Every structure is written in structure tokens, then in C-alpha cells.
């Protein structure tokens, strides 16, 4: 820890809060963030040489585990040809083709550099294509930090939003309506009142930014139906769920198809890459084919394309997902059994390779209000206990956890043994 403490002090001198993305700073859980030296398979190694079993996986991308040899080889091979050309390459079409083969309803796709860019551009496209301004999002869902999306709910279900950060104009918030996740009636009511003004609904098909909250049966279907009836477009934000719930993402898993899908994280194999794509009549509205502007100096970067292609080849191998789903299941069940045995009230959600635990007396968690009511002090103690044991969980109780193909049964068993020890310390 000593090395991290020194580095964190130095970082804070030159980087606001010492980090380049806020949740890394351990502000929610307290203490000093762990500075990482290297990573391999299921493990992170910090600057003092301590090993951690990693369930954050760079916030999702490392589905094959860290430093996967095939991904590294593909990047190395491309590296010798140069870092960026600012002109088209065959790799971009190859990755676009792969994405369109895999993701339901995706006829065309545009590469960008981050999930934020993907969702921001998707919303501009939806507004441009429909000629409408209003967007609907859901409380507890995160879609990156563009202005239109940093909006929280107003005081009533149907009031327009209020900025959730200084710097976001109130006039922009007026165009964003924030509804309750999994509230089917609330969605119907909103569409009954303002459906003809709505450009798009944007949703995390499994919410992974308020811990892990799957959709209740009928929720995603209702969004599809209300969009169809009103002429609004459905943006399914699969930045997190894409290739985590199966080769076709959440849309394959739940059988609901978007008009525009946003992707990121796993599709880049750990490189800064994301994408948005969908029906060709919509995508054809984008410049230079159409009038809606969107661009990027480094978009379609060849190293990122090479990493992404290798990642997506791996996920299409037979039986890639089944063992991973089984491991996720075993981890979550094991955690619940051990919490029960220690007398710690806890429940959990998991879908595919995403999971979350909640310190609460409630049996099921389906929305943001319930997540907010969980015992964060207990989570924070759990987090630090596990970190001390060499298990790296997300440093906030509002983040989903992730499994990778590199996690072994032994890693799961070691994690459960650590949790058993830590739960005993949480009783008071
Ligand atoms: N959408 C979702 C569902 C996300 O989980 C995230 C990031 N956690 C984003 C968008 C934004 O992606 P990025 O951090 O790459 O900008």
C-alpha cells in the first residue's frame, strides 16, 4: 500500500482528485486507490507487487482476462505498421462486418473512441432522424458524461430533468425526461403524454451502473412497443452488456431489438474503442452519407480494430459463454450462502457474466430507490476486507462486477474463502 500512497499524493498534485475517471479515486469507499503495475489473466498486480483477483476488469472490457496472448499478438502485429493513419483501413470494415453479423438489427455501424461518444452521437442521430428533441432515460442508468445525459429526475415522474452536474445548461435538461427503471406503467404514462415529441428512449438493457439490476419481464418489450407506436427510436446502450451476455449481447438474450445500439468496452478488447450502429435508413443519415454530423481523428484506430477483431473471434468460439455463466452463478451463490451463514442480510442479482451483491433485508432489487437504500457502510467494510484479502471489487456499491474467461474455479473458491472470513467481521 505504501507505493500507492506515495503515487496518489503525487498524482493529486497534477491530476484533479489524482485520477482520470472519478470512481477510481476510492472516494465512495474511502482509503487510497491501488496503483497498478501490471495485469495478467484474472489478476492485477499493484506497484508493491501484491496480487488481486480482479472482478472489475477495467470496468468491463477484459472478458478474456488481462493481457490475453492472442489480443496482445494481434496488437503487436499491427503496431509495426504504424499507430494511426487518419485514412480508411480494411480492418475497420472487417470489424464493422463482424459487429453487423453479431448484433441484432445492426445493418451499419460507426466506430468511435468511448462509450460517451457512442451514446452522445446516437442521440444526435435519433434527434436528427426524427426531427424531435426530447429524450427519455432512466434513473440509475449511466450512458457516459455528455450534457444531455448528465440529467437526473425532476421532482415528479413526468417533470423534465434537472442537471446532475454544474456546467450542464438547464435549457438542455428541459429536453431530457428521466423515468424509473423497470416501471412499465410510468413508461406508458409518459408516452401517453409526450410520445409524439420523443426522439428516443435510451436504456441499459441490464443496468450495470446502479450495481446490477436486470430488466423485469415486459420492461424492454414495453419500450419497444411504445417506441413503435410513437415513432420514437429505441437506443439500447450495450456499452456494458455487449458480448457480456452472449455473442448477441442483451438483445439476443432478451429478444428485443434496438433501432440504434451503442457498444464499447468488450468490443475493443481493452483499447479505447466504441461504436454505434443500427438500421441502415437511420445510419444513412450520418455524415458524409447524410446531414447529421459526427467525426473523430482517431476513430477506427488500427490497433483498436485489431484488438477488437481478436476479442470478437474468441467470443464466437463454441462453448465460450457457458462455463463463464456457470462460474458467475457459482460465485454469486457461494457469496449468498456465506453471507447467510454469517447472518449478514444480503441479496444479489446476476445475468450472464455480470453480478452484484446488495447488503439489504430486501429479497429482490429492481430499481434505483432500492439500490440507494442498501447499507453502504457495510459494503465499504466488505470492499476493504476483500481488498485486504487480495480480491479487487469495484470501489463503490453502485457498480456491477464482472467475470472473465481467465477466472479459474480456484479463483472463485479463493474469493469465497476470503468472503467467508470477511463476512464474519461485518456482524457489528
Ligand atoms: N454506457 C454505459 C452503459 C456504460 O456503462 C458506460 C461506462 N461505464 C458508458 C456508456 C460510457 O462509456 P465510456 O466510459 O467509455 O465513455
Confidence check: pLDDT of 127 > 80:
yes
User: Average pLDDT for residues 134-162, to the nearest whole number?
Assistant: 87
Question: How many residues make up the chain in this entry?
Answer: 428
Matching CATH number, 2-67+319-424, of 3.30.70.1060, 3.40.190.10, 3.30.1330.50, 3.90.1150.10: 3.90.1150.10
Q: Which three cell numbers stand for residue 157?
A: 415522474
Ligand 1 centroid, distance to 21 Cα (angstroms): 11
With a 6 Å cutoff on the Cβ, whether 112 touches ligand 1 is no
* Widest distance between CA atoms in the chain: 62
Ligand 1 centroid, distance to 92 Cα (angstroms): 22
What is the DSSP-derived secondary structure letter of residue 161? Answer: P
Cα 324 to Cα 327: distance, rounded to the nearest angstrom: 5
Ligand 1 centroid, distance to 115 Cα (angstroms): 5
Predicted confidence (pLDDT) per residue in 250-297, tens digit:
999 999 999 999 999 999 999 999 999 999 999 999 999 999 999 999
Please state, for a pLDDT cut of 90, what percent of the chain lies above it: 96
Residue 212 to residues 218, 308, 352: CA-CA distances in angstroms?
18, 25, 11
Confidence check: pLDDT of 317 > 70:
yes
With a 6 Å cutoff on the Cβ, whether 114 touches ligand 1 is yes
Residue 326 to residues 113, 121, 354, 412: CA-CA distances in angstroms?
32, 36, 12, 11
Predicted confidence (pLDDT) per residue in 337-360, tens digit:
999 999 999 999 999 999 999 999
pLDDT of residue 10: 98
Q: Indicate if 392 belongs to the active site.
A: no
Same fold, 2-67+319-424 and 69-315: no
With a 6 Å cutoff on the Cβ, whether 144 touches ligand 1 is yes
CATH architecture type of domain 69-315: 3-Layer(aba) Sandwich (3.40)
Query: Of the residues 183, 237, 259, 411, which is catalytic?
Result: 237
pLDDT of residue 23: 94
> H-type helices in 269-375, by residue range?
280-283, 302-315, 321-341, 368-372
Ligand 1 centroid, distance to 357 Cα (angstroms): 21
Q: Whose CA is nearest to atom 12 of ligand 1?
A: 115
b/e code 193-203 from CB counts within 10 Å (16+ = b): ebbeebbbbbb
* pLDDT band at residue 160 under the 50/70/90 scheme: confident
Interface pTM, i.e. ipTM: 0.99
Q: Indicate if 237 belongs to the active site.
A: yes
Predicted confidence (pLDDT) per residue in 213-253, tens digit:
999 999 999 999 999 999 999 999 999 999 999 999 999 99
Q: Indicate if 319 belongs to the active site.
A: no
Domain boundaries, the chain: 2-67+319-424, 69-315
Task: Tell me which of 22, 123, 144, 205 to substitute to probe ligand 1's pocket, judged by most ligand atoms within 8 Å of the beta carbon.
Answer: 144
pTM for the model stands at: 0.98
What is the DSSP-derived secondary structure letter of residue 109? Answer: E
pLDDT of residue 158: 62
Confidence check: pLDDT of 156 > 70:
no
Residue 218 to residues 40, 255, 340: CA-CA distances in angstroms?
40, 11, 31
SS3 27: coil
Do 150 and 165 form a contact (C-beta atoms < 8 A)? Answer: yes
Distance of CA 408 to the CA centre of its chain: 23
Do 296 and 302 form a contact (C-beta atoms < 8 A)? Answer: no
Confidence check: pLDDT of 157 > 60:
no
Ligand 1 centroid, distance to 427 Cα (angstroms): 35
With a 6 Å cutoff on the Cβ, whether 209 touches ligand 1 is yes
User: Average pLDDT for residues 175-202, to the nearest whole number?
Assistant: 97
pLDDT of residue 159: 67
Q: Give 156 or 148, the one with higher predicted confidence.
A: 148
User: Average pLDDT for residues 310-330, to the nearest whole number?
Assistant: 97
Predicted confidence (pLDDT) per residue in 61-91, tens digit:
999 999 999 999 999 999 999 999 999 999 9
Task: Tell me which of 23, 113, 119, 276 to substitute to probe ligand 1's pocket, judged by most ligand atoms within 8 Å of the beta carbon.
Answer: 119
In ligand 1, which atom is closest to the CA atom of 237? 3
With a 6 Å cutoff on the Cβ, whether 415 touches ligand 1 is no
Could you tell me the end-to-end alpha-carbon distance of the chain, in angstroms, rounded to an integer? 26
Q: Phi-psi bin for 367: left (phi > 0), alpha (psi -120 to 50), beta?
A: beta
Amino acid at each position: 500500500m505504501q507505493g500507492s500512497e506515495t503515487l496518489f499524493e503525487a498524482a493529486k498534485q497534477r491530476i484533479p482528485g489524482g485520477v482520470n475517471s472519478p470512481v477510481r479515486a476510492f472516494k465512495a469507499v474511502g482509503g487510497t486507490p491501488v496503483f497498478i503495475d501490471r495485469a495478467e489473466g484474472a489478476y492485477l498486480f499493484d506497484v508493491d507487487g501484491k496480487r488481486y483477483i480482479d472482478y472489475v476488469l477495467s470496468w468491463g472490457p477484459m472478458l478474456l482476462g488481462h493481457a490475453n496472448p492472442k489480443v496482445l499478438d494481434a496488437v503487436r502485429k499491427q503496431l509495426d505498421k504504424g499507430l494511426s493513419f487518419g485514412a480508411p483501413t480494411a480492418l475497420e470494415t472487417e470489424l464493422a462486418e463482424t459487429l453487423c453479423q453479431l448484433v441484432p438489427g445492426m445493418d451499419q455501424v460507426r466506430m468511435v473512441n468511448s462509450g460517451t461518444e457512442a451514446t452522445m452521437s446516437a442521440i444526435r442521430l435519433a434527434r436528427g432522424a426524427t426531427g424531435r428533441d426530447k429524450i427519455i432515460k432512466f434513473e440509475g442508468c449511466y450512458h457516459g458524461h455528455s450534457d444531455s445525459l448528465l440529467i437526473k429526475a425532476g421532482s415528479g415522474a413526468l417533470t423534465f430533468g434537472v442537471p446532475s452536474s454544474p456546467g450542464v445548461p438547464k435549457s438542455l435538461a428541459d429536453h431530457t425526461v428521466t423515468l424509473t427503471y423497470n416501471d412499465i406503467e410510468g413508461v406508458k404514462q409518459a408516452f401517453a403524454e409526450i410520445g409524439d415529441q420523443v426522439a428516443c428512449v435510451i436504456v441499459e438493457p441490464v443496468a450495470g451502473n446502479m450495481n446490477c439490476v436486470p430488466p423485469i419481464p415486459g420492461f424492454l418489450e414495453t419500450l419497444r412497443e411504445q417506441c413503435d407506436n410513437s415513432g420514437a427510436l429505441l437506443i439500447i446502450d450495450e456499452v456494458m452488456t455487449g458480448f457480456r451476455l452472449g455473442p448477441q449481447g442483451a438483445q439476443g438474450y432478451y429478444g428485443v431489438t434496438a433501432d440504434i445500439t451503442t457498444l464499447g468496452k468488450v468490443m475493443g478488447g481493452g483499447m479505447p474503442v466504441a461504436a454505434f450502429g443500427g438500421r441502415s435508413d437511420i445510419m444513412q443519415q450520418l455524415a458524409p452519407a447524410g446531414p447529421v454530423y459526427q467525426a473523430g481523428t482517431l476513430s477506427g484506430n488500427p490497433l483498436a480494430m485489431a484488438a477488437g477483431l481478436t476479442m470478437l473471434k474468441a467470443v464466437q468460439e463454441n462453448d465460450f459463454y457457458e462455463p463463464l455463466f456457470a462460474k458467475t452463478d457459482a460465485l454469486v451463490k457461494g457469496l449468498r450462502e456465506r453471507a447467510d451463514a454469517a447472518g449478514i442480510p444480503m441479496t444479489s442479482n446476476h445475468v450472464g457474466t455480470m453480478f452484484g451483491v446488495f447488503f439489504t433485508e430486501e429479497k429482490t432489487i429492481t430499481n434505483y430507490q432500492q439500490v440507494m437504500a442498501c447499507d453502504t457502510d457495510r459494503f465499504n467494510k466488505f470492499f476493504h476486507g476483500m481488498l485486504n484479502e487480495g480480491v479487487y471489487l469495484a470501489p463503490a456499491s453502485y457498480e456491477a462486477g464482472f467475470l472473465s474467461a481467465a477466472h479459474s474455479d480456484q479463483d472463485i473458491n479463493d474469493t469465497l474463502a476470503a468472503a467467508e472470513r470477511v463476512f464474519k467481521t461485518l456482524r457489528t
